[in-house]
Each structure stands twice: as C-alpha cells, then as structure tokens.
Structure 1
Amino acid sequence: MSFTDIALRNAKSDDKQTKLFNKRGLFLLVTRLQGKLWCLKISARRQGEAALIGILT
C-alpha cells in the first residue's frame, strides 16, 4: 500500500492501536487517542523492533 495524504489524515483507530504499512517497513501507528506516529520496522538478530521517526500532526 502506498500512502496518500487523504488516507493518512482520515486514519482512525477503534479500541486498539492500528498500523498502516507500506512495502518497505515504514508504517503509521494510530493510537487509541487518535495520535499518529511514524515508525520504521527494524530487524536486528531476527527480533522485530520499531524506531519512532516522528509525529503526524
């Protein structure tokens, strides 16, 4: 999925956190309080972790 401006601005979350991924490990994390955080999936020693890049306002 490629991100579009409209899709990112209209992203909502219900009771749980929601992740919107693209093909290269970048994702938008939408929190329960409707906060939006840019994250990048990083794999080191086969353990999946995410690095916070910034906040979408």
Structure 2
Amino acid sequence: MAKNEINQELRFTKEQIINSSKFNRIEKDILKALLENKEYSLDEAKKIIDDFNKKEVK
C-alpha cells in the first residue's frame, strides 16, 4: 500500500452517510438537509453537524 493511500480518508456519498449507523436520527436529518450530492469523509460530516449545532437561534 502506498503512503498516499494510507493518508487518504475514506469518502462516502450523501446516501451512504445518511444510511450509516454512525449517526443518530436527528444527525441524519441535519445531514439530509445540509449535505450536497458529493462525497464526504466521516470527519467532514461530523464537522457539519457540529457547526450546525453551534449556530445561534434567531
């Protein structure tokens, strides 16, 4: 395995992330609304959820 392959994060489609058991129902609803139709790493998806939760309610 090449060194670049080891450092590369696994990426998933929006559909794969939403169907993952890594997220609860509320997190999946947030991701359904915010993710675009491209690939994300799990860390990116978690960051999107965290950023959403930190927003101030108006």
Q: Is TM > 0.5 for Structure 1 vs Structure 2?
A: no
Q: TM-score, normalised by structure 1?
A: 0.26
Higher helix share: 2
Point out which structure has higher relative CO (alpha carbons under 8 A, 6+ apart): 2
Greater gyration radius? 2
Higher strand share: 1
